[in-house]
Structure 1
Amino acid sequence: MTAYQQLKVSKFIYCTLTAAIDRVTTKTDIKCQFVRCLIGKQHIEALFDSLAVNGETTYTIEVNWIVHMKMAFILTMSSCFIFINCIQLYTFFQNHVFRETPRYILFAHMLLNDTIHIIFTVLLYLLVINFQQISKGFCTLIVILSGSTFFNTPLNLTAMATERYIAICLPFRHIEICTVRRISFLIWVIWILGLLNFLIDLLEILATRPMIFFMANVYCARDMLIMTAWQTNVRITLTGVYFSSITIVILYTYIEIMRQTRSTRSDSGTSASASKASKTIVLHAIQLGLCMMSLFSPLTERLISTIDQITANHVRYFNYCALNIFPKCPSPLIYGLRDETFRKAFMCYFMFAKK
């Protein structure tokens, strides 16, 4: 049975069950639950299992107010942090010293990358939660931008850690190595590496599907670009290479900076800078750990969905908040406030924005 035929069958069953359930109660939102079951690839079984337990009609359905509270929380938190990120970006572009300093350039790139990621992941969440179909072309754009910015985050953290390593361990070569031109080139490399997985998937679609493929309407999901098994294998391989390489680099920079801290304890200025840099690397490592945890969250969601669909929904929502939204929201603010020069400029613009 083709995917189109499966969708027609799913719609038929959905309409039939909705008509039957409407005669029993109007206080639950079967449509929202059907979407969650559909996304979990257990839609028919989960929906039937929820209709008859011990001879009584029961519903494992999230009522409207729970769904609305989840949406309101996500929108409120993401809007607040997007606003703060925009002020920090404005602070960066208004000061020529920041624009010519490598670490501030990488910091601004992190702000921009995380802002794009939050916008498109929240948009994808709203489309899913509201059962909205969009064209495959628009869905492809959302999936590519949300996915590539996810991979850009650890790559950018690695670049920031390497820049701090050069500044502390190779101070006399820092100006020579970390130029604005090289940092700009490095940002292009980060985006190419972040897009690589999705460019491979897109090229596979362009080579095997007609252009009309992008005009059809679908329920947008991250797996829409996966057409063959080898694409999954390539994605797993590249992801493994990315994160193992990034982990090695961050561990190496942290160890070397800590060694430099111990060797320069007599010099209070150098020791303080090295100590601050080592704490920054620790923050990078924590963010990297959260990124790696998010790679394994779909596995736990699938395991729980075989037991209880509603619990799986809550776990999926928690993973989305804790591993995708929250790590990217406060971290730019933490990095910005830890730097005294940037903090003073940021607070000036922030207080003005509040007024």
Structure 2
Amino acid sequence: MEDNSSLVGGEFLLRQIDKIIIVQLLVMIFSCINILLIVTFFAKECFYTTARYMFFAVTLLSDSLILILSDILLILNYFQITMQVWICIIISVVVLLYLIVTPVTLTVMTLERYVAICMPLQHGELCSQRSALQCILIIHGLSSGPCIVVLSTFFASASLSLYEQYRICSVQIFILHRWQNHLRSAVHQFNFLIMCIIIIFSYVKIMKVAKVASAENTKSTRKGLRTVILHAFQLLLCLIRLWFPFIENAVLQIDFKVFNDVRYFSYILFSVVPRCLSPLIYGLRDETFFHALKNSAFGLYKRNI
């Protein structure tokens, strides 16, 4: 019996290591792509002085940070490595903040397209470099709202001795009572409801402009509509990612093995892949950015040769 159990344990450990290796390969590939996109952003002055590219850079930096931190937490979780709770709180706060920064920034990017197409005369004033920088600060302020709610309920419920304990680090460490889980879910759903309303409003307004647009403006308007749809799709992926912990908890009550598999595949499908593919697709759709991206890639290739 001991030999059988040790074999089963060895097979399980090998499966875990294989999963970790696959994730590391994906994270390395996607991190390199995101770094290339960030380098391209800083390569031309027109990018870091234009509102929509500045917002795009915020999503790139936010997604890259989440990609790296979530990968570190995944490794620590799989190998059951513990840390003091106060250190975990610092890491988790950053993760919680930037999980919200990306969807909020996507919503702002949608509004920028709405202003550009429906209010072209005011676009230059409303979407200047200074306005964009102020807006980025507002994005981080709004995104910190859910973090403040989660932290406030945690600090009010946690004992002082908890901060010095050693535990496996997870965002779920903030959930000490079931009502905190419900409150966190309600806050996230309210935020995404507001974001969805803004995106639907922008889409409807751009559609109205598209119907009355002249032949010259039709191409620009249709491109704006496709951008809004892309942002809606990205928001959907972010929403699914925030819902998955509740699905995982339900699966955990049924079967631990199935829970591990669900958590692994949800991490790859809704955390790793979207954090690179969505920004890459957005970057490729913009002709100016695409040409600069080709030049950056070609320049790096020549240096390596």
Larger Rg: 1
Q: State how 1:214-229 maps to structure 2 within 5 Å.
A: 214-228=163-177
Determine the C-alpha separation between the residues in 2 that align with 1:279 and 1:204: 40
Larger helix fraction of residues: 2
Find the partner of 1:267 among 187, 199, 215.
215
Find the partner of 2:7 among 27, 48, 55.
27
Indicate the residue corresponding to 1:116 in structure 2: 65
C-alpha displacement at 1:235, in angstroms? Answer: 2.0
Indicate the residue corresponding to 1:291 in structure 2: 238
Q: State how 1:227-306 maps to structure 2 within 5 Å.
A: 227-228=176-177, 231-264=180-213, 266-268=214-216, 270-306=217-253
Alpha-carbon contact 1:78-1:329 (below 8 Å) kept:
no
1:191-222 per-residue CA deviation (whole Å, 9 max, x = no partner) reads 12222222334345556667664333211121
Alpha-carbon contact 1:124-1:142 (below 8 Å) kept:
no
Indicate yes or no: 2:288 matched with 1:341.
Answer: yes
SS class of match (2:7)? coil
TM norm structure 2: 0.91
Q: State how 1:1-355 maps to structure 2 within 5 Å.
A: 22-29=2-9, 63-206=12-155, 213-228=162-177, 231-264=180-213, 266-268=214-216, 270-354=217-301, 355=304
SS class of match (2:231)? helix
C-alpha displacement at 1:306, in angstroms? Answer: 3.4
Determine the C-alpha separation between the residues in 1 that align with 2:154 and 2:235: 31
1:133-181 per-residue CA deviation (whole Å, 9 max, x = no partner) reads 0121221122112222111121111000000010011111100111212
Greater alpha carbon shift after TM alignment, 204-213 vs 88-97:
204-213
Alpha-carbon contact 1:92-1:99 (below 8 Å) kept:
yes
Amino acid in structure 2 at the alignment position of 1:307: I
TM norm structure 1: 0.79
Query: Where in structure 1 are there 5+ consecutive unaligned residues?
Result: 1-20, 31-61
By relative contact order (CA 8 Å, sep 6+), the higher-ranking structure is: 2
- Identity of aligned pairs, percent? 30
Determine the C-alpha separation between the residues in 2 that align with 1:211 and 1:297: 30
C-alpha displacement at 1:274, in angstroms? Answer: 0.8
1:265-301 per-residue CA deviation (whole Å, 9 max, x = no partner) reads x332x11111111111111111111222223323333
Query: Where in structure 2 are there 5+ consecutive unaligned residues?
Result: none
CA 1:206–1:292 in structure 2 vs 1: closer, same or farther (change >3 Å)? closer
1:69-101 per-residue CA deviation (whole Å, 9 max, x = no partner) reads 211121111111111111211221231111110
SS class of match (2:8)? coil
Greater alpha carbon shift after TM alignment, 242-251 vs 212-221:
212-221
Determine the C-alpha separation between the residues in 1 that align with 2:49 and 2:193: 31
SS class of match (2:83)? strand
